[in-house]
Structure 1
Amino acid sequence: MRVLVAVIAPIYWSFAHQSGSTVNGFTLTRGIFKQESQMEFATGELLRITHIARGLEAGRELLLDVVVNGFVPESIARAAVLLQSFSEHYVQTGAGQLYAGSVQSFLQDGRRVRARCNHTIEYDPTLGFQPTLVQHVRARSVEASFDPASEELRFQLGTSLHAGANGDQCPQGFTKDPQQHYCLDQNECAAPRRPCSHTCHNSVGSFSCSCPGGYTLALDRRKCRDVDECMQGTHACHLGQRCVNLVGSYRCLLRCGAGFRPGVDGAGCEDVNECMEGSHACRYNQLCENTVGGYHCACPRGYQSQGTGRPCLDINECLHVPSPCAFQCHNLQGSYKCLCPPGKALLRDGRSCAALERAEGNVTDAHRGAHLQWLRLPNPSHGRSYYTWFSFSPAGNTLRRSSRAQCPLGFTRRSSACIDLDECQAQNLCQHECKNTEGSYRCLCPPGYRLLPNGKTCQDIDECADGRTRCSPAQLCFNTRGGSQCVHTPCPAGYWRGTSPGVCLRRCLGDCSLGGPSALQYKLLPLPFGILAGHDIVHLAALSPGGAPHNRTLFHVLEQDPGSPFAVRAERGRGVISTLRPLHAPGLYHLKVQAQAMGEQQVHSVFIILISVSPYPY
């Protein structure tokens, strides 16, 4: 009962010392009023108290009926509690209506405990208004004692009333009525610029915000931030499952080993194709070969390995013994070419030279004394040219179609003609696009890519590394897959640019825990098309001023694009960005992530992340 002195008996308002033009509650209401009080403790307990004042009994004592309903925290009920001095402001909210609010403080075993208190008072409106719109009550020297045996609560306190310098002005959260007689509550929740990010609850002179399930109020008590059930341990994932935090929720996925990830149904693990997703570390002229649970970097034919992390080295086949060519060998990148002496032609094996003489497109058969010549003829039915052999006999001066010659490489025989073979009809010849040519084909890559020496695989051109894109000192060069751009990375006032690109460090004197984050970091991530859901993209590390990562750090998203396919979770002191759904559409996404060590007020790092998803899976 000792903690209820401030609300169980309104004597401090009814009989407060009047000064100047102020009037206390008894003078204003003549001792007849109804007061509804509510006290809310920080731990969630709520008390509601109704007072009915029936005037003076026998002209000497104020007669009150009091009903108390609710709970007081057990910790307060069992401890030694000392009430502290407090003040309340009484606002005229209508004819015969008052509202008062305050924050009550208690010393509980030497520790300060607070509770929020408010009152609504109704009295006969014909008795008029307070002299000023607002009157302030100051209560001090509050003492109380309760005797359980006699069930008596004894208390005393000194109270005084004053109008204050702004007694004719409505306090914050109120506005004057058109006649300037009293203060009307402002409904902050109905304002065009809503004060809450999610749900707003209006109250007299104030408002409060609340969040949907899976969210909690941020430090400003207005915005909602995601609750990381995985970090806080409030999830229901079983042993052998991995908790993945989602915005407003979480998922339980099967814990898979390195090189594997949970399947779409979450019931099993599937191999990660690092080669398809572009998460491998093979060099530019190496071939990535996927394996179960990993991958292997191999060299194309005509190249040899120089070891892990080093590019493939061209093999000079012309140095082999015996030589691969019958006459002369010419080395090429990844291959070689055989040459023949004048008057001889290279045979179909690509190595040997034939004893044939070539003159103006004619080939002479020295044994039979006849000429064989390729003629290119149009073929209207096929829409492309074809070749056929004709033999010319000098003795008979005749030209006949010959059927005994074989079609050259890249052609197929049809009747007596050699039709160009469209190699592009075959599957998987080229990674991107196949273009048929006469007698052969060639692979094409999209803009911003180069063809690797194997002639089939496309590799992104790093325009930032080769100097094609030059950016200013206040910008970072962002090499996206198939292009590049300069991203503006300004350091705010009070920050200096660190030695690492895209890092801003805060200058502070004295206590560095005050102010903004200690570091602002820009991250640029190019991703291929087609990455599946539940795939970890990048790990974020928040560094202390000494440069060491914090082991217990909370990560949450401050800003992100609507419908963003990415989520952030904390894992072993690092922030992990993962995919919520498959990346089946190209696009550019922005995220702003805050890292804060558990139990500390200081924000250690804010990450501004730009993610580019390519239209291609390479």
Structure 2
Amino acid sequence: GPEHKCSFNLGACFRVNLKKKRAIYATLHYEREHYSLNAVIPYPCPERTDVNECETNPCGQECANVYGSYQCYCRRGYQLSDIDGTTCDDINECRHYPGTLCAHKCENTDGSYRCSCTSGFKLASDARSCEDVNECETNPCGQECANVYGSYQCYCRRGYQGVTFNNIDECALPTGGHVCSYRCANAPGSFYCTCPTAGYTLAPNGRSCQDIDECATGGHTCSASQSCFNVQGGFRCLSFECPVNFRQCLCCFPASCSLLPLRISHYNLTFPADTPVPADVFRMGPSNSVPGDQMDISIASGDEEGYFEVQPQTHGGVISLRRAPAGPRDFLLTVEMRLVRYGRSHLYMAKIAVFVTPERRFRPTRAAHL
């Protein structure tokens, strides 16, 4: 018949049915005149055994055998190399997931990563978060400790200062002279005030000294015929005797003695030697005033050294301390006031006992009216 061409090619051997039989796909090509036919027919192939390449460890980590080949894969934390496809490269999780894995610091390790915390913190149970460390539990401070977030702070108790908690000498500070009213004594972490050994007691505030009124407490040594007068830090025993032709009431005299003082009054004053001058210490004047009154007040005796002076006023006068005594001392001033009223002259006399003490804390005695 007419000429025709036929070719036959063997293909690869592979499974062609569910019974897992192998065959070679053969391709038949037939040409006749203007027609052609292509067909693929099964062609039995020889039996072959699969080789397990994983037995030779061709992979860097894990190997999986497949029919006719093998496949490499990596454990967690690694990835297959893009170069050879068999070795495993470490994954830098800290670089791939910045700020998401660890709360503070991330450190890459072989096949994994490790979280750590900055100073003042410790790693939490989840190995990723950071918890504040209470450093005060280990007593890092010499005295008081305050825990703060991520750290701690030391501070001193009252009366101490500096890193080494040095005792503050409150008595030596610029304000030390005002801490106590009399004497300041330093103590570890504090101070205490003292008062003179006699005549004073420490006030409830622990700083001021209060005068002991021996006359009120019965701590004086005055006799029954004497009068006790309290002064700062002590007391005085005073005796009052009226002059001739006077009797002791307010020492009022009989009206027949017209040349003698109409009245003699006794007063007691006390103040410390460092009282600022000038200072008004005593006022003398009539208990009531009448238009046209004429008054003359003078210090008759007791001020020979000139510590006091008389300051005239509208209705009387004021005895002022114009020069401070050098130290404690006593004065007995005799002050006379001559009052001319309705054309008649009257003489009044005041005996003023002044006791100057060595202490401060002075409050001038209130003015007295005759």
If the length of structure 1 is used for normalisation, what is the TM-score?
A: 0.30
Structure 1 or 2, whichever has the larger Rg, is: 2
Give the structure, 1 or 2, with the largest relative contact order (CA under 8 Å, sep 6 or more).
Answer: 2
If the length of structure 2 is used for normalisation, what is the TM-score?
A: 0.48
